[in-house]
Structure 1
């Protein structure tokens, strides 16, 4: 009898297969604007970045790739966002109810925030949310680009569609060489994009919980409460730091009006949470702003959503653990609920392994390039957190470093989810326990 693959391995293999197909399609002469076949590295890097909804590029998306190539990229990050949101939700259901995956998944989380019957039900609900939001944002952007910028309807519609799908999936791909810098002061462009980024990155379990209990926050799940509170704190914190650090910087916010400064700082804070768009020059930011980007990019967004990073709930659980330890509490608690010991161990494992990946990637790239360390760290965290922001060094990195970034993107997108699921599903009670001893810590 053949042993069945672990669900988390199946997810990784599925995404790897899509990356291979995407790479082959992007290597076709039709995919390039000049009719020449793209190199393996260029095609593979772009395919990985798209499927892993990162947005890092080694060539300009709008000028290097043909319309066919851009459609391939759009479909790749649509699959990457929709597919990972669906699969991560299903894997989360498996963890919460500890059931087996065979032909169907029948489950309901204890909080009843996800009243889902089977795979088809999950996929349909995610599909409705995805296509509904993308259609709305596409319409808003198309109308603005046609009326406000005089673009013909076909060009406005294509640009609106591409950026709407990219925003909702937190992909960060743009057909403009300067991303969204040309719209830095346009709230009618940046606000819909921010809305798509936040809704796509907050996670489907949270959206479903809000849908069922929008007027009854007392009965929201602990996951929803941690995700929403963490999101608000990170967005406000990032906004304030960006505003203060860049207020007088003539290369970013310094020359803007007050309204434009507020809008651009807010957009930078939202986008740093794994979206990858930028309305100001990332390479011109102060070191303080780079530092807050490190933090925001590494944490990322909500679980089972389109965002990357180690996830808000991971960091929230660890913060609660620290608070409980400082206060001398034996239990880690929040919102009248106790966080399980297994969730705490899983959070520690994800954070430690994520940090190790960032350190390893940084060391490998530093060994092969003379680029300043702070820019390399920015690039590595952006890749691992599947953010896509860059200080402008991606195309200048040697091939070995670019391959390293592809590994980081794949590990950051697929690895954290499959790792967390493997840890949860692989948990089992031992028939014995060793005598307890307390080593000296600190």
Structure 2
């Protein structure tokens, strides 16, 4: 009879082997659920770190509700805060936040895939499938998936390399660009503090977080087009998505044809940026409390800057709470759309918006297929886009009503801050920092849902995937 405690197999069951075995079992049963568990676990680890006395500038324990909200906002790369980010945290706390936004920028499923590669010491098919799901939610469902995608399964390793390298390269370039402006500013007494803040700003911009590490915020640079331009460029690049960055790098090297996903992402992002730029400038140009405080030449520039921030950036050079309601409404709509798929931005994603728009155009023209750039878009992609938009709107609606109930806030403030949380933007009317604890927990859950993604969350909750082996009779209903 084999001895379970002394045999050769037992000797090989080292702690590392046991961890690998547990990982294999969990990821095989449900990759999406495993990814969500990892992401949620990281949030609670960061909350625990931020609660430590060493993390606060005062040396006191940060209340759980504040630490949890900051951890969620950090890992979900949102940028909303209920404490003063510039004065509450110690250098250790700032380092925890800085590391957190880098971890969060990678993405839920990509993070799980990278962790799996570290644990198993290889990037196998399962890790590739998990990582591929970050760029294509259709891979979360059972059945074959066409490889005519933005990123094919065989290119996932290259995408993971792009994720890590782009974080390091782009953030370093942006930090180098704004460092001279920071080190020469009178608010900085030492070059090393200016250097750290340069990287902090750069990381916060490229990851679309929007945290500001200084007590004076962006106020010293409110009329500095160079610094704001560097931050806006980083936010724009981060909002495109790692598959798009990978495809653009590949195109620059080999001139390989850009796929439909890349084209739709670029065209829609640019169109929304210019539409937001024009709308914000004309709607807010006569507001003395916001644009009236700027130099004449900076007013159109700031309108463009704020339009970029609605992609999911979170930086603001004017008081959102003082903006006209018409401007806030436009920014809310832009935030709800968000940035590109598998990017550091949130929202329902620009490709989701593009698919819905193209479907409406096809219906108006009486065309059966959804078409773009001489390509036909399958119906299952439209169904997924409708699901994402509907669930996103439902989450925002319920969260907004709950926030208004617990805080007695106005609809303008509640809807704007809720959309900002769901779309992981970080812009605020000022409501978030004065919310009661109940409201803080509601926004924390909203940020988590917005970053995890409605499709990933739904797949994680599903205990099994069912295949219906019969077709019901068809009957049409009246629509419209």
TM-score relative to the length of structure 2: 0.84
1:229 maps to 267
2:204 maps to 166
89-98 vs 146-155, which moves further: 89-98
CA contact (8 A) 1:350 1:420 kept: no
CA contact (8 A) 1:181 1:278 kept: no
2:334 maps to 296
Q: Per-residue deviation at 1:429? A: 6.2
Q: Per-residue deviation at 1:307? A: 0.4
123-132 vs 21-30, which moves further: 123-132
Matches within 5 A, 1:407-426: 407-416=445-454, 418-419=456-457
Secondary structure of the 1:333 match is strand
The reply on whether 1:37 has 2:61 as its aligned counterpart is: yes
**Structure 1 422/329 Cα, relative in aligned 2: closer, same or farther at 3 Å?**
farther
2:170 maps to 133
Q: CA RMSD in A?
A: 2.7
TM-score relative to the length of structure 1: 0.91
Q: Per-residue deviation at 1:203? A: 0.4
Whole-Å separation in 1 of the counterparts to 2:313 and 2:276: 14
Matches within 5 A, 1:8-157: 8-84=32-108, 86-87=110-111, 90-92=132-134, 109-110=147-148, 113=151, 116-117=154-155, 119=157, 121-149=158-186, 151=188, 152-157=190-195
Deviations 1:400-422 (A, max 9, x none): 01100000000000133514877
| Structure 1: gaps (5+ residues) | 101-106
Deviations 1:269-308 (A, max 9, x none): 0011111111111111111110011101111000011000
1:197 maps to 235
Deviations 1:323-354 (A, max 9, x none): 11111111111111111111000110111111
CA contact (8 A) 1:137 1:196 kept: yes
1:104 maps to none
CA contact (8 A) 2:107 2:134 kept: no
Aligned length: 435
Whole-Å separation in 2 of the counterparts to 1:180 and 1:133: 20
Q: Per-residue deviation at 1:257? A: 2.8
Whole-Å separation in 2 of the counterparts to 1:413 and 1:80: 9
Deviations 1:2-39 (A, max 9, x none): 67342221221111111111011000000000111000
1:103 maps to none
Whole-Å separation in 1 of the counterparts to 2:140 and 2:96: 37
Whole-Å separation in 2 of the counterparts to 1:159 and 1:389: 20
**Structure 1 247/97 Cα, relative in aligned 2: closer, same or farther at 3 Å?**
closer
Deviations 1:124-146 (A, max 9, x none): 22111110001111111112211
Deviations 1:42-62 (A, max 9, x none): 100000000000011001111
The reply on whether 1:7 has 2:49 as its aligned counterpart is: no
138-147 vs 353-362, which moves further: 138-147
Secondary structure of the 2:277 match is helix
1:250 to 288, 292, 305: 288
**Structure 1 390/285 Cα, relative in aligned 2: closer, same or farther at 3 Å?**
same
Deviations 1:244-277 (A, max 9, x none): 1111211111242332112211110001111111
Whole-Å separation in 1 of the counterparts to 2:139 and 2:320: 43
Q: Per-residue deviation at 1:431? A: 3.1
Secondary structure of the 1:64 match is coil
Q: Per-residue deviation at 1:368? A: 1.2
**Structure 1 421/344 Cα, relative in aligned 2: closer, same or farther at 3 Å?**
farther
**Structure 1 17/97 Cα, relative in aligned 2: closer, same or farther at 3 Å?**
closer
Deviations 1:167-193 (A, max 9, x none): 110011111346423311111211111
CA contact (8 A) 2:223 2:298 kept: yes
Secondary structure of the 1:62 match is coil
Secondary structure of the 1:223 match is helix
1:376 maps to 414
Secondary structure of the 1:267 match is helix
Whole-Å separation in 2 of the counterparts to 1:220 and 1:427: 33
2:424 maps to 386
Q: Per-residue deviation at 1:117? A: 5.0
Whole-Å separation in 2 of the counterparts to 1:155 and 1:65: 15
CA contact (8 A) 2:159 2:246 kept: no
Deviations 1:219-257 (A, max 9, x none): 321111111111011100111111111112111112423
Larger Rg: 2
Deviations 1:52-76 (A, max 9, x none): 0001100111101111001101111
